[in-house]
Amino acid sequence: MTPKTVKLIVFIVLLVHGVGHLQGVAAALGVKINKGQPAQSWLLKSLSVNSNKSICLALFLLTGVLGILTALSFQQIIFLYAWQSFAIPTVVLSTLCLIVFPNGFAMFFNKIGAVVVNLFLWYSVVFGQHWPAILFED
């Protein structure tokens, strides 16, 4: 694969990851995306339903926006060369979303995809490992 193709694939994966977190926004707004209470956290059961929905909304919305900014910055559409600055809070918040509101995703496949992207981001950005050199070749 050419470097352009690899960059495009990474861009699409990062963009889908960010957009995917908007499922939690839908859940917090009352859209039925799966069985049960997707905006109810197993960890925050002592809080009211409205508090859970508000936290779910804020957490998933912030993660979604930061994820989209990560992708756009990676592709150098906006905020040139700042994508890692967006990737770090995105992966932290995304992991928090998965832990605190695991039912905020529509399907199990969505959770698996989020975990895979998060593991890649944790490894390559947060833990200081290097992204494949092909991503930075022109």
Biggest alpha carbon distance in the chain? 52
The model's pLDDT over 34-69, given as tens digits with 9 standing for 90+, comes to 676 777 888 888 999 899 999 999 999 999 999 999
137 within a domain of the structure (yes/no): no
Residue 93 belongs to some domain of the structure: yes
Question: Residue 18 is part of which domain span?
Answer: 3-132
pLDDT in tens, 69-95: 999 998 889 987 788 889 889 999 999
- Measured between alpha carbons, how far is 21 from 18 in angstroms, rounded to an integer? 6
Q: Would residue 19 count as lying in a domain? A: yes
CA distance 138 to 132: 13
In a domain? residue 138? no
Q: Is residue 128 part of a domain?
A: yes
Residue 52 inside a domain? The answer is: yes
- 48 within some domain: yes
